[in-house]
Each structure stands twice: as C-alpha cells, then as structure tokens.
C-alpha cells in the first residue's frame, strides 16, 4: 500500500501537454495513416478549439478513431470542461441514456455520426470536421480558464445491475496523479511511438494519449480494419516502429499467437502494458517476450478509480510466474485487503480489495444509494473509499494477489459486464418471465449463457431474444447461448445456485 498522500500540486493533464509543446514544438505529436501533426500544430489546434468551446461544462464525444477526436479531447479539457466518450457501436437507446444521464451540454462528432443519438434539450451539436484546418496559421495564445483539481476529466460508463450503465466522473486530481506516475515509470520520451489501440469509450484510450503527450512521445492512430486483423496489426507495429502498446490479456494473447503464426516479432516494442483481465503467463507468452526483449507490466484498476496498482515483469521471461500479482499501490493511493469491517485482514487471508486516496471520485452519477454502498466512508483513513468487489490477498512481499469477483460482475473478452444488467433487460421482454445469465471461460471461448423461464404461451426463440437484446445492449453483452428452464436451482441456504446453473451448459 502507499500510505503517504502527497499534498504537492500536480500539473493538470492539458498543462503537461502544453509544456511538451513548448519544449518540443517541431517533434511529431500525432501520426495516422495519411498525415501527421507536430506538437506546435497540435497545441495550436487545441487552443483554437478550446476558445471556441469556452463555457462548455461537459462534452460528449462519439467514438471515432480520428485526429479530430484526439484534438477535441484535449481542447475540451483546456477549455475547462470534461469529456463523455460514447461508443458509436452501442445501440441508440443506450447512447441516448448515457448522453442524457451525463448532463452533457455539447455533443462533438464528425458529420457522418451526428444521427446516431438523440440530442436532448440543452445540448448543442458541434461538428469536428474542421477542427484541424488552418494548422499552419500563426501561434495560438494559451487559453486561460480556472480549472479545479476536483473538476471532471471524463465521465465513463460501466455495466450496471439496474439494466442501464452507471457513470463515473473522474476528477483531474486522480488522472494527473496517475499520468505523472506513468510518465515517471515508463521509458516513453521524445522519439517513442505509442499505439492508440483502445476504443475511446474505454478509459485506457485516455491513458494512451495523455501519458504519451505528457512525455513528448508520438501517438500513432490505427484504422479499424488494421486493428481488427492481428497479422495486419503486427505489420503496422513494425512499420510504425511502435515502442509501447496497451493490451488486455485477451488481445495480448491473440496478438502473440498471430506473431508465432506469421513469424513476426517487432524489435521496436519495448513496453507492453496489460489491463482489464487477470494476467496469465504461458510458454507462448514467454517466447514472445524473449524474442522481442520487451518488458510486460500488469496494471490493475477499474472505471471507478482508474489504475491503482502495477507490477512490472522484466528480465528472463522463463522466470516469470504463471499468475503474476497485481503489484503494489501507485503513489498517493491506498490499496488494502479488508474484511467486512473495512479493517485489513492478516497477510495471506482472503478479503475484499478496498481503495482510497486521490484516485477515488465522488461516486456514481445520479445514483446516491449505490454510491453510499460502494463508496463508503473509510473510518480507518478518514476519507471516502471504493469497495471494488474484487477478492484478493496480501502476500508477504507486500504485493496483492487478485483472486476474482465476489458478485455477479464478470469479464468477457476484456469487457466488464454486470450479469444483472443483462438479466434486467431479459426480464423486460414479453416472452421472458425470469432469467439468469452465467459466464463461461473455456479453453478456446468465452461466452455468456442465458437461462430463461418463459412467460406462458411462449417458446424459446434464441434468435429473437438476441435481436431484442441487441436493441438495448452492446454486442458483447448479448448472450451467445439460450436455455429454457422451468425453475432455478437453489443452495441449502435458499440462494440461487449460479454454479449449478452454469454446470448445465453443454460443452
């Protein structure tokens, strides 16, 4: 854990970027297929658009892998606002809910995406098509506005048990602390290329951009077609001389398998950072890192607190453990394994991972009861904490071992999913009286299975259920398999036995 909480003022993220632009104006800051911008050009575009957005409190941005969107993110921050990233692959009803719930007063997107959402009253539309025009004009003066460390950098949404996602506003103090640590910990500097791979609706995408521009490196965008083909992505990594890349373990494993298949091991890779899954090391992973010489860092965090711990694996990959720990807490963050009384349990005993320090936000947007439950006051620390719902144990080394979830939240192909959210949407369907969902992680497949008690007069129509769920849930939330049951099994204490239900799924 990290007990010492520093009171020293940290630069805000957009200030870090501005400092690099002043120090290295002619270094390439952003590169994409077909173009590039220097730090001077990026800074001028940010300042020009920030001035235009002045007065914006919260700006929603539709996910669009483009230089305009990257510029817009920093412009929103420099103008004193916060970002609300929206995934344009989500169903319209879900996007409408997130846009309205977030309280966004501006929607930013390129023109071809403008019809994907319903713009609520009080929210204006701004088209991004011309954000980076006239980039060679005279220098733009620094736009100045009062910004508090408590103001939100972004609002991101995570799966919720009510049937709708829940939003979290991450303050500047949390993100500045994390990015400051990431810059100091990483080798990224002028001349380093970082691949921008994650969707902008996931907070890791902000880390890719912020930590690179705060260190004088180059952010390299990738097309969706390249991103979805592992062989093409590897070739792009080699072509662009990528030094650093963030991956979930699932995507890391797929990339490694592609590397072995096409016999391509980009020598430029120096750092691979994983987040979002339990990291597992096998011989295939060891061989890849032995061939590239890169180091592997396992970061642990969640939407509610961003990244809170890290463990770096370097040296001979043959010596890496099969299941690395999640490491120790970052500076100004407290991470402890606690019992029900929120007191630390002895070394080696299982407990819930509890998080405190500068990373903890005020709670969930518009959900006071859930906030009180998951963000309680930590008597032992005299401040708000976040109860992660993750089970872990403190090791004698001081590192923490991640053991799994204590509730119905699961990870499927790196996506965090509340099973109760899917169940709530199933129960809302005319043909379903009750439903439970189980998660399955087999050797070659991760999937969700829906177990449905049907309403009277209805037969199980799996394809129809898929279509109806796809209208309100992201694609990766929609179960792959459907089973009709007459009732659910119960444990001896009267609780639904999800494990017994899961065992009924055919292999």
Taking CA atoms, 58 is separated from 71, 262, 373, 423, 429, in Å, by 16, 45, 26, 31, 34
Q: What is the arithmetic mean of pLDDT over 275-285?
A: 83
Beta-carbon contacts of residue 62 (< 8 Å; ≥ 6 apart): 86, 88, 107, 108, 109, 110, 113, 116, 117
Cβ contact 472:425 at 8 Å:
yes
Checking if the pLDDT of 63 tops 70, the result is yes
The more confident residue out of 183 and 488 is 183
Give the predicted TM-score (pTM) of the model.
Answer: 0.83
List the CATH code of the domain at 333-405: 2.30.38.10
The mean pLDDT value of the chain amounts to 90
Q: What share of the chain is helix, strand, coil (3-state, %, to 5)?
A: 30, 30, 40
Distance between start and end Cα atoms, the chain: 42
Burial class (CB in 10 A: 0-12, 13-18, 19+), 462: middle
Q: What is the pLDDT of residues 424-444, one digit of tens each?
A: 899 999 999 889 999 987 766
Query: Across residues 70-78, what is the average pLDDT?
Result: 95
Q: What is 409-502's CATH superfamily? A: ANL, C-terminal domain (3.30.300.30)
Q: Where are the domains of the chain?
A: 333-405, 409-502
Q: Is the confidence at residue 8, as pLDDT, over 70? A: no
Distance CA(267)–CA(291), nearest Å, equals: 8
Q: Is the pLDDT of residue 65 over 90?
A: no
CA-nearest of 65, 121, 109 to 83 is 109
pLDDT in tens, 164-176: 889 999 999 999 9
Vertex 426: Cα angle to 425 and 429 (nearest 5):
95
The answer, yes or no, to whether residue 130 has pLDDT greater than 80, is no
pLDDT of residue 3 exceeding 80, the answer is no
Say how many CA atoms lie within 13 Å of 346 toward its Cβ: 0
pLDDT computed for residue 64 by the predictor? 82
Give the 3-state secondary structure of residue 265: coil
């Amino acid at each position: 854990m990290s007990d010492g909480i520093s009171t020293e003022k940290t630069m805000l993220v957009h200030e870090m970027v501005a400092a690099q632009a002043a120090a290295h104006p002619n270094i390439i800051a952003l590169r994409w297929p077909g173009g590039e911008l220097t730090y001077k050009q990026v800074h001028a575009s940010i300042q020009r658009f920030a001035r235009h957005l002045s007065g914006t409190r919260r700006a929603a941005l539709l996910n669009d892998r483009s230089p305009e969107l990257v510029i817009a993110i920093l412009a929103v921050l420099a103008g004193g606002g916060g970002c609300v990233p929206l995934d344009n692959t989500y169903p319209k009803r879900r996007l409408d809910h997130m846009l309205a719930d977030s309280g966004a007063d501006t929607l930013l997107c390129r023109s071809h995406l403008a019809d994907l959402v319903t713009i609520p009253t009080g929210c204006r539309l701004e088209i991004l098509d011309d954000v980076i025009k006239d980039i060679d004009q005279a220098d733009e003066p620094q736009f100045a506005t009062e910004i508090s460390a408590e103001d939100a950098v972004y609002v991101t949404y995570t799966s919720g048990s009510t049937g709708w996602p829940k939003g979290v506003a991450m303050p500047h103090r949390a993100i500045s602390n994390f990015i400051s640590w990431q810059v100091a910990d990483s080798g990224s500097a002028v001349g380093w290329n970082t691949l921008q791979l994650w969707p902008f609706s996931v907070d890791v995408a902000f880390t890719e951009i912020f930590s690179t521009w705060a260190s004088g490196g180059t952010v390299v965008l990738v097309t969706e077609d390249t991103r979805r083909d592992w062989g093409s992505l590897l070739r792009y990594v080699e072509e662009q001389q990528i030094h650093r890349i963030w991956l979930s373990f699932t995507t890391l494993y797929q990339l490694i398998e592609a590397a072995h298949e096409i016999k391509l091991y980009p020598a430029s890779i120096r750092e691979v950072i994983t987040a979002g899954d339990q990291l597992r090391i096998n011989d295939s992973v060891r061989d890849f890192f032995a061939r590239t010489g890169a180091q592997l860092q396992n970061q642990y965090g969640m939407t509610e607190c961003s990244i809170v711990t890290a463990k770096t694996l370097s040296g001979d990959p043959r010596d890496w453990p099969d299941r690395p720990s999640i490491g120790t807490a970052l500076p100004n963050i407290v991470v402890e394994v606690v019992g029900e009384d929120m007191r630390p349990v002895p070394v080696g005993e299982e407990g819930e991972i509890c998080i405190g320090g500068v990373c903890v936000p005020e709670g969930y947007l518009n959900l006071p009861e859930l906030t009180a439950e998951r963000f309680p006051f930590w008597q032992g620390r005299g401040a708000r904490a976040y109860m992660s719902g993750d089970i872990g144990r403190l090791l004698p080394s001081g590192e923490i071992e991640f053991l799994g979830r204590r509730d119905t939240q699961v990870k499927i192909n790196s996506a965090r999913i509340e099973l109760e959210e899917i169940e709530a949407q199933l129960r809302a369907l005319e043909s379903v009286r009750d439903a439970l969902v189980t998660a399955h992680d087999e050797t070659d497949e991760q999937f969700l299975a829906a177990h449905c008690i049907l309403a009277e007069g209805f037969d199980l129509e799996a394809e129809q259920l898929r279509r109806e769920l796809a209208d309100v849930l992201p694609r990766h939330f929609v179960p792959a398999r459907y089973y009709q049951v007459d009732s659910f099994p119960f444990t001896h204490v009267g609780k639904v036995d999800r494990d017994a239900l899961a065992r009924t799924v055919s292999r």
